[in-house]
Structures are given as C-alpha cells and as structure tokens.
A and B are shown apart, each in its own frame.
Chain A
C-alpha cells in the first residue's frame, strides 16, 4: 500500500493539472466568442457581394457563365483536397477526425482511379500527413488562431491557379463545421468547380424577400443607367473567383470556432475527470491514515499487554 506522503503528492499533482485544464477551458471560451463574432462579421460583406453578383450576371447575360472556374473538367484524374486543421493540439478529436476523413476520401478516389493531392491548413494536419508519407501540394500554417481574409485569398488563389491550369480536375474542402460549442462535424464540400447555384443565388429566397421591402427603390435600381467599369462580362469573370476565396475564408473561420469549442469541451472533461480522481485519492489517503492509526493503537495495546 502507498504511504500517506505518496498519496498526498499525487493529489497535489492532479490538482495542478486541474488548474491548468480549467485555465485552458476559460481561454478557449474567450477565443470562441471572438471566433463566433468574426463569422457574424463576414455576413454583411457576403450578402452585399451576392447582390452585386446578381446584378452583374443579369447585365452580362447567361452566356457569360462560361468562365474557367465554373467549367467542370470531365475525365480529370487528379483531385485536390484541402484539409483544414489547427496549429495546436489538445482539442479532442478536432484534428484527427479531419485527417481520418481526408484519408477515407483518398481511398474512395483511388478506388475510382483518381489520384489525390493534399493541401493542408494547420501545423497539426501538415505534420500528420507528412508522417504518413504524403507529399503536400501546399502547406499553410501559423494563422489558424485568427485567420485573416488575406490567408484565405492566398490559399484560394493557389488552388484556382492549379484548377485553371488543369493540374487539378476538382478541389474539395474538408473542415470542421461549427454548429455550437458542443457540436461540430466534419464537412466535405466541393470548392472547384465553383457551384453556379451558390454564386448566382439561385434558390436563395432570402434575397428576393429583402428586395421586396423597398420595391420603389428596387424599381429605380433596375431602371437606372448603370456605368460598369469594366464591362459586365469582365466584372463577372473577376467576381466569381471571389466566391472561392469567401468559401475558404468561411471554412477557416468555422474551423477556428470549432477548434476552440472542441478544446473547451475537452478541457472541461479533463478538469471534471481530475476532480473525480482527486475524490478517489482523498478517500485513499483517509484509508491510509486510518490504517496507520489502527496500526499505532495495536502497537500500544500490544506493548501494554506485554508489560502486564
């Protein structure tokens, strides 16, 4: 049986662990709030851009939709997968479930005769994939705590270039979709070719409703003689790739929120677990102390009996 001192030491070390995990939980909670705010901050921009796109698309006419980023590459055999992980660990299954989903997708693509080239966001994902012997097409690290739009732009531009130059026939995105601090799930989404419905807002009712609010202004908007710089066709050609940038940016923001949410939950569980362990050890310590007292009494009684 352990001595009282040993048990005492273990209790104090578990208490330290508990303090650290509680602190990490609090830090993650604060960062999560900021990450949620940044997702909300993106909304007005995305809505304004969608409105402009509809206007430009109408002015340009349907034939202008023949843009390289909208074209499907038939029969291509090289698929790009962008895995969005974090720079740091200690966040439950946050990083590993992305890696697992990526590997699973690679297996499916290979079974259908296509090769997969990985690009990775985040140090954790990059090092796991390299450890598995994968050659990475792109590695983007050092910003997953607070991704900037410029980071997303760089990633998207690189993937668009590879797609337009026909190095890749399709690009998928795998990231942790953020629902709530307790719920995140792995989502796979096609980044390129860009989905037309998404860009042109087809099937998005919310836009139609907004316009009805002020129909007089909307009418004036339609009738106005607009100056387009440059032509609507050229404008559209530059507008559409921006959707890939926004999609990547949004996935980075969601991934960051998921990471903090996942870490918060993992750290809370660790702290709760530490509390339980401390309870068990305290019981153990009391038992050891009681055994020591019993032993002492027995010795005293035994000594007294020997004398009488």
Chain B
C-alpha cells in the first residue's frame, strides 16, 4: 500500500506496463478537462484525451509521457491509467507528427461532418497535435 501522502499508480498500454509505483500526484486530461489526482482521491472513472501524462515522484522528480486516448480509474488510493500509447517525449518524431496533422486535415476536408470518417480524422488530428505540444514542451 502507498504511504500517507502518496498513491499507487499503474500505467498500462496494450504493448505492456509503462509504470508501476508510488507517486505524489498524477496529472492528465479527461474528456471534461485537466485533472490532478492526489492521495486519497474520491473514486473516479474517466475517459482520457491525448495529452501529457505527468507523474510526480515522491523525490520531486516528474516523469512525462505523451499519452493517446485512454481510461483512468481511481479507487482505494490506487490509480490505473489505461492508454493506447505512452511515449517518452524524447522519442516523439515532430516531422512525422506534423505529417499526421496535415493528413488528418486533408481527410477532414474530404469527409462529411458527423460521419464516422470525419470523427476518425478529428481524433487523429487532435492526437497528433497533442503529441506535438508534448514534444515542444521539452524543447523549450
């Protein structure tokens, strides 16, 4: 079990476990907005949007990832993050991401609003843009 001011956090992707340990705070973004989870948070089940996932370690260090869409469950001082991708910022390829944004914009122009194809293009664009922001944040 985690200590008084920490909670247990687990980050899983379909490609394997990314993190498992105690943290002081977990920051991410849900469908409703930014969210920070501290110790003893009330139970939450939320849809996550692409953003920067930050884990604040007890020593003050912060671990970061670019996360794709996913899910967050907080219960009994333990947080589980399920995301499609969790990529360390230094492994993001900015040029490839820009290409993805352009490709998604092109598909948005070609498809009808409200269709399945439109929704897919929108998600692709939002994800690539969020990853670009994460990549930019570490360059600064």
Contact = CB atoms under 8 A, between A and B. Distances in A.
Interface of A: 38, 41-42, 44-46, 48-49, 52, 55-56, 148-150, 152-153, 157-158, 160-165, 217, 220-221, 224-230, 234-235, 238-239, 245-246, 249
Interface string B55-84: 000000000000011010101100010101
Given A45-B82, A165-B117, A224 B75 contact: yes
A45 B14 contact: yes
B43 A161 contact: no
Interface residues on B, range: 20 to 34
B119 A161 contact: yes
Contacts of B76: 217, 220-221
Tell me what chain B mostly uses at the interface: helix, strand, loop, or mixed.
Answer: mixed
B12 A45 contact: yes
B12 A161 contact: no
Interface in B1-48: 12-17, 30-32, 35, 42-47
B82 A149 contact: no
**Most chain B beta-carbon contacts within 10 A, residue among A221, A224, A225, A226:** A226
A201 B45 CA distance: 19
Contacts of B12: 44-45, 48
Contacts of A239: 71
Given A230-B32, A246-B14, A221 B116 contact: no
A162 B43 CA distance: 37
Given A157-B120, A157-B123, A235 B84 contact: no
A208 B82 CA distance: 21
A229 B32 contact: yes
Given A153-B84, A165-B115, A230-B32, A225 B14 contact: no
Interface of B: 12-17, 30-32, 35, 42-47, 68-69, 71, 73, 75-76, 80, 82, 84-85, 115-117, 119-120, 123-124
B32 A149 contact: no
A219 B82 CA distance: 23
Contact of A226 (B35, B43, B84, B123): B43
A151 to B, nearest CB: 11
A164 B116 contact: yes
A46 to B, nearest CB: 8
Contacts of B82: 45, 48-49, 52
Contacts of A152: 14
Contacts of B16: 38, 41
B35 to A, nearest CB: 8
B14 A235 contact: no
B71 A52 contact: yes
B62 to A, nearest CB: 23
B45 A245 contact: no
B119 to A, nearest CB: 7
B84 A228 contact: no
A52 B119 contact: no
B105 to A, nearest CB: 16
Contact of B15 (A49, A149, A217, A227): A149
A221 B75 contact: yes
B14 A229 contact: no
Given A153-B84, A220-B76, A230-B32, A160 B45 contact: no
A161 B117 contact: yes
**Most chain A beta-carbon contacts within 10 A, residue among B12, B15, B85, B116:** B116
A229 B17 contact: no
A225 B45 CA distance: 11
